[in-house]
Amino acid sequence: MTTSEGIRLVEEKLFDWIKTFIQMLPNVMLAALIVVIAWLLARLARYWSKRLVAKMTDSLTLRRLIGNSVYLLVVLIGLFGALSILHLDKTVTSILAGAGIIGLALGFAFQDIAANFISGITMAAQRPIRVGELIGTNDHIGTVERIDLRTTELRDLQGIQIIIPNKDIFQSVLMNYTRHGIRRVDIVVGVSYGDDLQKAELVTIEAVRSVPERLQDHEVELYYQGFGDSSIDLEVRFWINATSNAHYNDMRSRAIKAIKSAYDREGITIPFPIRTLDFGIKGGQKLDAMLSERPVDRH
């Protein structure tokens, strides 16, 4: 092939490309217009979807997730429509097939991440926990600082940051100490076997009733639990507002001090642990009796 023939061949190819481009120019402009319209509609759909979801839930994470998903869906529809106008249907099919295969492979490779992501979506929809609530899960107790789609961040009672995967929270026992707004304080104390139990009950209840900030619409409850080694054990219960764990500890401390002061004032004894030593082989023998029965060695 001569140089002139090569140049002529290149010119013909360029001419064919220019001719094809000119012929497809209306379709290209229409495809571009469709992409722009799809982009504008996607932004509008994201805005309204967020507002709609906001009426059903106050979860910012869920609103952001649904809004972005709607945005991406509308943009993809516009993009695939533009490719179809450009007669690139096979390209669209190849893209969808490739996306499916890649998604399947990523699903197997990142099972834990997918499980945490799905758990995060479910938690965002059901709202078992909210930011600022005191919860207990997976042997950790702390205040919820942040909830993402993959992890939940707690600040425990010592101020340590704890990041827990959402899957572990979703699949484990969850205790929410502040969801209902009130919390019960239980105090166990023992009184002497020589004290009047009826008097001890009345004194204990009146002492707890005097504690400030106790919920007045919930009665103080007291139940004797059983016969201990050194005392008769009772449990007194009262309710407080579940504002924080510090408030809970403060109210329990106030109640303990009030009970101790009332017992001292009324002469009710909180006994020390007592142990009885038995020196008899058959049992029931006292030490002085054992010593009196022992023969005296005169040598």
Residues making up the chain, counted from first to last: 299
pLDDT at 197 over 90: yes
Strand order across the beta sheet in which 151-156 lies: 161-165, 151-156, 140-147, 134-137, 174-176
Distance CA 212, CA 140 (A): 30
pLDDT of residue 93 exceeding 70, the answer is no
Listed in sequence order, the residues at least 6 apart from 232 whose beta carbon sits closer than 8 Å to its beta carbon are 190, 191, 192, 193, 195, 197, 224, 226
Domain ranges within the chain, ordered by starting residue: 3-109, 129-176, 182-266
DSSP class of residue 271 equals P
Q: In Å, how far from its chain's centre is CA 156?
A: 12
> How far apart are the C-alpha atoms of 136 and 228, rounded to whole Å?
31
- What pTM does this model have? 0.62
129-176 and 182-266 share one fold: no
pLDDT greater at residue 66 or residue 176: 176
Number of C-beta neighbours around residue 240 at 10 A: 21
pLDDT computed for residue 21 by the predictor = 62
Fold observed for domain 129-176: SH3 type barrels. (2.30.30)
**Is 120:148 a contact under the CB 8 Å cutoff?**
yes
According to the model, what pLDDT value does residue 106 have?
A: 56
Q: What is residue 264's three-state secondary structure?
A: helix
Q: Which of 1-5, 29-33, 219-223 ranks highest by mean pLDDT?
A: 219-223
Task: Tell me if 74 sits within 8 A of 42, measured CB to CB.
Answer: yes
- The 3-state DSSP class for residue 152 equals strand
Which of 76-85, 191-200, 236-245 is least confident? 76-85
Residues 6+ apart with CB under 8 A from 181: 241, 242
Per-residue pLDDT, 237? 96
pLDDT in tens, 245-291: 889 999 999 999 999 999 999 999 998 876 666 555 555 555 566 55
CATH number of the structural domain 182-266: 3.30.70.100
Q: Among 137, 123, 135, which Cα is nearest to 145's?
A: 135
* Token pair listed for 104: 């399947």
Are the beta carbons of 123 and 58 closer than 8 angstroms?
Answer: no
Q: Can you tell me the distance from the alpha carbon of 131 to that of 10, in angstroms, rounded to the nearest whole number?
A: 67
